[in-house]
Copies of this chain bind each other. A is one copy, B any other.
Amino acid sequence: MTTATQIVLASRPKGSPTLENFRTETATLPAMKDGEFLVRVIWLSLDPYMRGRMDDAKSYAKAVEIGGVMEGGTVAEVMESKHEGFPVGKIVAGAFGWTSHAISNGEGVRIVDPGIAPISTAQGVLGMPGITAWVGLNDIGRAKDGETIVVSAATGAVGGMVGQLAKTKNMRVIGVAGGADKCDYAVKELGYDVCLDHRALDAKALTQAIADAAPNGVDVYFESVGGKTLEAVLPNMNTFGRIAVCGMISWYSGQGIAEAQPLPAVWRNILTRRLLVEGFIIFDHFEKFPDFMAKVGPLVGDGRITFKEDIAEGLENAPQAFLDMLGGGNFGKQMVRVGTDPA
């Protein structure tokens, strides 16, 4: 039998978590069966998503149970094996959790090639944070060469990767990070064009600093934080800009996502439900008018689509009709009869 040291969730945090929410335990692992293998954990990755797992609010993944081992991505070595795909000595990446040892059947576990980069990167730039940056930048953010991007949490596991990948696309890359040392690192080591310290700037100053750093406006915002940074980026977004909502760490704890605060609640929904929210103004789409008329004209013409008009008589009554409409007083398309029908 193998004993494992494990860290379990002792209680759910109210607001910001504390050490009291965790407890260290020693567990005896069950006997290894055919098709299973035993690993010792070498690296445990800590990531912001774990905060969400501590709550039992509805989210995209289920919560850690009270008394359950905290979830987490790990890099581990196979110590004993009854599984052909995972022989002894192999380095693997898997979600074994906050534990020193684990038994696995191989589900969701991949073998790590230690020849490519240090094995810890299998939970970093070449693991979940890395692919998050890559998909978020390219598929969600639809980033194009030469565009301008703002990256929040600019030196974080994901953000640091987003910034560097964006530079490989010849983008103008503006980071936002907390502290002068992080900002120095972002510019000197990661190649950011500019990095702004949100701790040194209030919301208004941060908004202006982004405007100064982005003379052509912001095309893509890689959003991991919410809060002040979101509010400072938004006025600088270009038309048809994209916001890849990857996280909202500034709202994960405390009163941030209370029902009384609708913006965090909306943002959380966009994130956890993977919503696509798109603003549109029809004037951008008028090239479709002929197609629209061809398809919808007949439906209106033969009455399959009906309509109702609320008619104000005379141009002089337009202002009152307009005010009524704004208050929801009209019933049907509000029109004003300015002149008589054609003869």
Contacts and interface: CB of A to CB of B under 8 A. Distances in A.
A31 interface: no
Contacts of A156: 333
Interface of A: 5, 7, 16-19, 21-22, 24, 40-48, 50-51, 60-61, 70, 74, 76-77, 89, 91, 98-100, 114, 116-117, 119-121, 123-126, 128-132, 134-136, 139-140, 142, 155-157, 160-161, 164-165, 168, 178-179, 181-182, 185, 189-190, 230-231, 234-235, 237-246, 249, 252-253, 262-263, 265-266, 269-286, 288-289, 292-293, 295-297, 299-301, 304-309, 312, 315-316, 318-323, 325-328, 330-342
Contacts of A289: 131
Contacts of A136: 280, 282
26 contacts: A16-B323, A17-B322, A22-B319, A44-B318, A51-B326, A98-B315, A120-B309, A128-B282, A134-B296, A135-B280, A135-B288, A135-B292, A155-B331, A157-B334, A160-B307, A168-B305, A235-B269, A237-B269, A240-B274, A242-B278, A245-B278, A245-B279, A266-B266, A270-B278, A274-B281, A275-B279
A275 B308 contact: no
Contact of A278 (B77, B237, B276): B276
The 5 closest A-B pairs by CB, nearest first: A157-B333, A263-B263, A22-B319, A44-B336, A271-B279
Given A99-B315, A240-B273, A242-B275, 13 more contacts: A7-B318, A43-B338, A44-B336, A46-B321, A91-B342, A116-B300, A129-B333, A130-B300, A189-B308, A190-B306, A238-B273, A239-B274, A245-B277
